[in-house]
Every structure is written in structure tokens, then in C-alpha cells.
Amino acid sequence: MTISLIGLPGSGKTTVGRQLSRRLQVPFFDSDAVIEQQLGCSISEFFEREGEERFRDIEARVIDELTQVPEGVLSTGGGAVLRPENRAHLHARTQVIYLNSSPDDLFRRLRHDKNRPLLQVADPLGRLRELYFQRDPFYRETAHFQVATGRPSVSSLVNMILMQLELGGRAAPS
Ligand SMILES: Nc1ncnc2c1ncn2[C@@H]1O[C@H](COP(=O)(O)OP(=O)(O)OP(=O)(O)O)[C@@H](O)[C@H]1O
Ligand SMILES: O=C(O)C1=C[C@@H](O)[C@@H](O)[C@H](O)C1
Ligand SMILES: [Mg+2]
């Protein structure tokens, strides 16, 4: 089964996902990267030209495809949980892990990053707090379990996830 990572921008979905896929020796997919390949431009550019809703339509199609991959690690865009059909596909077809990070930790990481269109605003920390407030319930609803990403290194997070996956596997009825 594919493992999906969800969480706010900067929570580590791409970084942790890539390392997790190496440890499990399965293919790695990043829905943002797949979308950029299909668009032939950056998500930031597409957001500016076509707007967020057009982006969400394309994202929904890509999530539908990637959640049907039999085995892999799927890192999703931070807003993938906004559409109900994405939440349903992710939860029903994949094992979903929520990388839960506080807005303050994320702000520290993303302060100098210009590639996240939703954070190119006057008060990015306030924006992250709003996004957390709005999306945390969706991330919880979609995930099978969560890990707190504030302090642990990327490799510790990967170890924690692998442990949880093994425990989940053992606890599940056969
Ligand atoms: N556990 C961690 N400890 C320290 N730095 C981290 C950790 N996880 C991620 N980072 C760093 O934070 C930044 C954002 O990580 P990453 O790009 O993986 O986030 P993301 O969740 O994929 O974001 P987006 O939703 O925008 O795609 C990167 O510079 C990454 O190296
Ligand atoms: O949080 C969001 O809504 C987004 C996060 C990124 O991963 C991209 O998917 C895009 O920039 C939108
Ligand atoms: Mg990413």
C-alpha cells in the first residue's frame, strides 16, 4: 500500500517522504512536482496566472491518480486536504501520516523561502496560524496517525514513522 504524507507547507512532507521511500525501497512521488511537470511551469507561476481553484482542479486529478499507485511514498501539497474527494481518496486508498508542526516552527523554517505562494504576504506567521487553524481538523480527519515534527531530525522522524507503521501492521486484524 502507498504511504501518504500530509501537513502544512514546510512540515517536511517532501524531505521526510523522500528519505522514507529510500528506507522502504519503494518509488517516491511528490504531487507538487508531478503537477509542475505536467504544467511545464512552477506552481507559483500557475497560481498567479490561473488562480487557486484551477490549481486545485489539477491537484485533485493528480491525487486521484497517485493514490492508485500500488506501492510508494506520496508527498502531497499542503492544501491537498481542502477538497473532500482528496481526503476520501487519501484515507481509503493509502496509509496517511500527518506531519504536525506548529506555525512558529514552520515560520522559522520558511522565513527565507520564496517558493510558497500562500506565504508571500505581509504577515506570513499570521498566515501560517490561520492555515493551521483551518486545516488541522482536515489533516486529523484524513490521517491514520500523526507525528509531531517540531524537534526531531528528518531521520528520527523516518524512524518514528517506520515504528508506527510496524505497530499498526501488527495491531491490524489479519
Ligand atoms: N524535521 C526537520 N528538521 C529540520 N528541518 C526540516 C525538517 N523537515 C523539513 N525540514 C526543512 O524544512 C524545509 C521545508 O521542508 P519540505 O520542503 O520537505 O516541506 P513540505 O512539507 O514538502 O512543504 P510544501 O507543502 O511547501 O511542499 C526544507 O528546507 C527542509 O530541509
Ligand atoms: O498549502 C498550500 O495550499 C499549498 C502548498 C504547496 O505544497 C503547493 O501545493 C501550493 O503552493 C499550495
Ligand atoms: Mg513539498
Report helix, strand or coil for 152.
coil
Across the range 30-51, mean pLDDT stands at: 94
Residue 116 is labelled as binding a ligand: yes
Cβ atoms within 10 Å, residue 88: 12
Closest-CA residue, ligand 2 atom 3, reads: 79
Which of 30, 47, 73, 109 best tests ligand 1's pocket when mutated (most atoms within 8 Å of CB)? 109
Distance 56 CA to ligand 2 centre (A): 9
Which of 29, 36, 43, 136 best tests ligand 2's pocket when mutated (most atoms within 8 Å of CB)? 43
CB 10 near ligand 2, within 6 Å: no
Cα–Cα dist 86/31, whole Å = 12
Q: What is the mean pLDDT of the chain?
A: 92
Do residues 82 and 8 make contact, with C-beta atoms less than 8 angstroms apart?
no
User: What's the pTM value of the predicted model, to 2 decimals?
Assistant: 0.94
pLDDT computed for residue 168 by the predictor: 62
pLDDT computed for residue 61 by the predictor: 98
Report helix, strand or coil for 172.
coil
70-to-2, 6, 27, 35, 171 alpha-carbon distances in Å: 6, 18, 10, 20, 22
Residue 19 has pLDDT above 60, yes or no: yes
pLDDT computed for residue 116 by the predictor: 73
- What ipTM was assigned to the predicted interfaces of this complex? 0.96
CA 120 to chain centre: 19
Confidence of residue 25 (pLDDT cuts 50, 70, 90): very high
Domain that holds residue 79: 3-171
**Domain count within the chain:** 1
Residue 174 has pLDDT above 50, yes or no: no
Residue 60 has pLDDT above 50, yes or no: yes
CA 93 to chain centre: 15
Do residues 59 and 53 make contact, with C-beta atoms less than 8 angstroms apart?
no
Cα–Cα dist 91/85, whole Å = 10
Residue 87: φ, ψ to 5° = -60, -45
Indicate which CATH number applies to the domain containing 45: 3.40.50.300
Q: Does residue 30 come out as left (phi exceeding 0), alpha (psi in the -120 to 50 range) or beta?
A: beta
